[in-house]
Amino acid sequence: MRFEKYAISEDIKESLEELGFKRPTDIQFKAIPSILKGEDVLAIAQTGTGKTAAFAIPILHLLQQDQERRKRPKHLLQCLVMVPTRELALQIAGVFQQIGQFTELKTIALVGGVEQENQHKHLQKGVDIVVATPGRLFDLHHQQVLNLQDIRLLVLDEADHMLDLGFNKDIADIKKRLPNRHQTLFFSATIDTRIKDLAYAMVHNPIRIQVSPQDPVSKNIEHAVAFVAMDDKRFFLERLVKELPGKKMLVFTRTKVRAERVQAAMKRVHIESLVMHGGKEQADRLTVMEQFRQGEIPLLITTDVNARGVDIPDVDYVVNYDLPEQADNYVHRVGRTGRGTKKGQAISFCSEEEKPLLAAIEAYTGTKIKEKLIASDAYRETLALSEETPNDNWRQLLKEAENTPLKKKKKKK
């Protein structure tokens, strides 16, 4: 069924048409009717399937309808969306603003890393929808500048990640401060038994929706793993970038320090790249994301701060420079490519010590990742072709040793 046939606001239909939304995705088709009925929803769908619009469309309709029918005050905070990262909060707020562009509803993102003064001003003027990260939300609530008494809709996006990060107590505290009668929506790409139990404790008779639960990874992504020594990964990334000029690549490392080191290694071989992680100032993070989105610099080295939910258009390759320690993060990382109907590539560099992590990923996804075989001569060639000359010359010495015949010792007479 096309969106034009849905029983939703004409203002929202107009924006959907302008944005190119013709037909709902599977998760949208299954979730929107239940949300419109006022039911609690626990939705599990792989990344890139349109989860944000699945809750934004019906929420905007319900709030607009509520204003018109019940003569509610304009810009009364009625919807709270909680997400784990700043980038995701800004992105989701943007989706609400786009879909609600022809309504009078106001949306604001409340995130840390920026001054609170402007956020205070917006809240005082009145907003209908708040999209927030837990830290800033709790700060503003404790300062009594964020009034939750009229909330009728609570959305927990990437709910498993927030609960897994230890925000379950904080979320439970927030729920206690909401009106008794409110609708709760859980949306996530992955969920395990432990998280599921916590989720069910926070919803009331939820409608459970699953899209492709047996295969959490998008069919649009081609996967490969290359077995590379930890110290040699930078050479293989260099070769990959040089062999695929102009391709947009998102490279994941395990830590902030690793991300900085990989960027430094790329700089030494004259490859321009961007770096982003939780240690960067919010303004810098926004600038980096915009540069990467626009394709100004097509190589972004990052940590898992960009693995969850963030929609970056036209990512050609996701490179797992380091394998994630949590298997489900593989799903979130590779989900940055192959979004919608587009094809994507996911390449993982796996060192000897990371093989248990690879096994855990394959067990989690239920799929054996195809090995990209690297012949010994091709491996040596990759190291030799690098513009970077290692500080030590052990590789060159080994190569020379291989090509130098052993001299026979003279026998003593």
Q: For residue 332, what is the domain's CATH number?
A: 3.40.50.300
Q: Give the single-character DSSP code of 232.
A: G
Q: In this model, does residue 376 exceed pLDDT 60?
A: yes
pLDDT at site 310: 65
My answer on whether 37 and 171 are in the same domain is: yes
- SS3 assignment, position 401: helix
My answer on whether 186 and 331 are in the same domain is: no
Chain centroid to CA 37: 29
pLDDT at site 413: 46
My answer on whether 230 and 144 are in the same domain is: no
Examine the fold and report which residue of 211, 240, 262 is the final residue of a domain before the chain moves on: 211
Distances (CA, A) of 312 to 17, 55, 71, 158: 21, 20, 39, 17
Element (H, E) at 235: helix 233-243
**Is the residue at 109 inside a domain?**
yes
Residue with tokens 């192959």: 338
My answer on whether 60 and 200 are in the same domain is: yes
**Is the residue at 170 inside a domain?**
yes
The 10 Å Cβ neighbour count of residue 224 is: 13
My answer on whether 232 and 352 are in the same domain is: yes
pTM: 0.69
Binning pLDDT at 50, 70 and 90, where does residue 394 land? very low
Examine the fold and report which residue of 157, 190, 211 is the final residue of a domain before the chain moves on: 211
Q: How far apart are CA 116 and CA 110, in angstroms?
A: 9
My answer on whether 190 and 234 are in the same domain is: no
Examine the fold and report which residue of 211, 230, 253 is the final residue of a domain before the chain moves on: 211
Q: How far apart are CA 369 and CA 359, in angstroms?
A: 10
pLDDT at site 404: 54
pLDDT at site 343: 85
The 10 Å Cβ neighbour count of residue 367 is: 13
My answer on whether 306 and 341 are in the same domain is: yes
- SS3 assignment, position 398: helix
**Is the residue at 335 inside a domain?**
yes
Q: Which residues contact 93 (CB under 8 A, 6 or more apart)?
A: 107, 108, 109, 129, 131
Could you report the per-residue pLDDT of 183-210, keeping only the tens digit for each?
999 887 777 776 677 777 778 888 888 7
My answer on whether 197 and 255 are in the same domain is: no
Instruction: Report yes or no: 127 and 75 within 8 Å, Cβ to Cβ.
Output: yes
My answer on whether 22 and 123 are in the same domain is: yes
**Is the residue at 229 inside a domain?**
yes
- Lowest-pLDDT range of 16-25, 48-57, 163-172, 246-255: 163-172
Q: In this model, does residue 60 exceed pLDDT 80?
A: yes
Among residues 308, 172, 196, the alpha carbon closest in space to that of 252 is found at 308
**Is the residue at 103 inside a domain?**
yes
Q: How far apart are CA 265 and CA 237, in angstroms?
A: 10
Q: How far apart are CA 384 and CA 329, in angstroms?
A: 33
Domain limits for position 179: 3-211
My answer on whether 89 and 23 are in the same domain is: yes
pLDDT at site 97: 96
**Is the residue at 59 inside a domain?**
yes
Q: In this model, does residue 216 exceed pLDDT 60?
A: no
My answer on whether 341 and 317 are in the same domain is: yes
Among residues 52, 89, 398, 352, the alpha carbon closest in space to that of 227 is found at 352
My answer on whether 93 and 141 are in the same domain is: yes
Work out the average pLDDT over 350-378.
92
**Is the residue at 92 inside a domain?**
yes
pLDDT at site 47: 64
Q: In this model, does residue 22 exceed pLDDT 90?
A: no
Query: Total structural domains in the chain?
Result: 2
Furthest CA-CA distance within the chain: 113
Could you report the per-residue pLDDT of 88-144, keeping only the tens digit for each?
898 899 999 999 999 999 999 998 878 888 899 989 899 999 999 888 898 888 888
Among residues 297, 210, 211, the alpha carbon closest in space to that of 251 is found at 297
Q: How far apart are CA 189 and CA 242, in angstroms?
A: 33
**Is the residue at 394 inside a domain?**
no
Could you report the per-residue pLDDT of 296-353, keeping only the tens digit for each?
899 999 988 766 656 677 899 999 999 999 888 898 888 888 776 678 999 999 999 9
